[in-house]
Amino acid sequence: MNTTLNISAYKFVPLPDAAALREVLLARALDLQLKGTILLAEEGINLFLAGPGDAVRGFVTQLHTDPRFADISPKESWSDHQPFKKMLVKVKREIIRMDHPAIRPANGRAPAVSPATVKRWLDAGHDDEGRPVVTLDTRNDFEVDAGTFEGAIDWRIQKFTQFPQALLDHKTDLQDKTVVSFCTGGIRCEKAAIFMREAGLEHVYQLEGGILKYFEETGGTHYQGGCFVFDERRAVGADLSVIAS
């Protein structure tokens, strides 16, 4: 019986008080007996939590009382066990490390495209202007191996800090195409899309909500395999249930 609610969410928003916020969020999570990981940095928050549904949603309700997090809308899935061993709240330099400090999504996102629109484009083989559409996987190679979009571009990167150079090495291959960057939940493809735009690629979008939101809203059409997740579930299928352990 699936009694454990798993959520993931992130937001790029200035958090100059990240160190103090760490103590507050850790106390709340422990009080609600949640487990998972919350990453905080000056650039924002990235969280993965699991526990009883009421407790997890109670944590989100408390999070929403901070105006900076009022619009956070976590992606949800259920499992029959707690996939995390403990509760960690860490303060990092970046919530997703790229080593390009000029890339600051809080100052302006790259254009996003909804899962329904991506599905429609992939159904047709082109975007609404007739331009060829390619999907670009911004995840690490072992994550891609668990599953990805049919025909997705995969540069076999081993860590996200390698993405900028990989893009520069392959930039000419993407000219005159509409590029949809994607990742698990949206955080990496958001930074990747900004970097690509700044590198001079005009028709670049990020998949809103990442693979998990695409599964939730489309059932996973045009996607092969599962989606790797960084907990004991290892991977979830298009119905967001566990497919490997």
Catalytically active residues, by annotation = 183
Spell out a b/e string for 49-58, using b for 16 or more CB atoms within 10 Å of the CB, else e: bbbeeebbbb
Element (H, E) at 46: strand 44-52
Give the span between the Cα atoms of 119 and 140, in whole angstroms: 23
Sequence-ordered alpha helix ranges (H) in the chain:
18-31, 53-63, 115-124, 141-144, 163-174, 187-198, 210-218
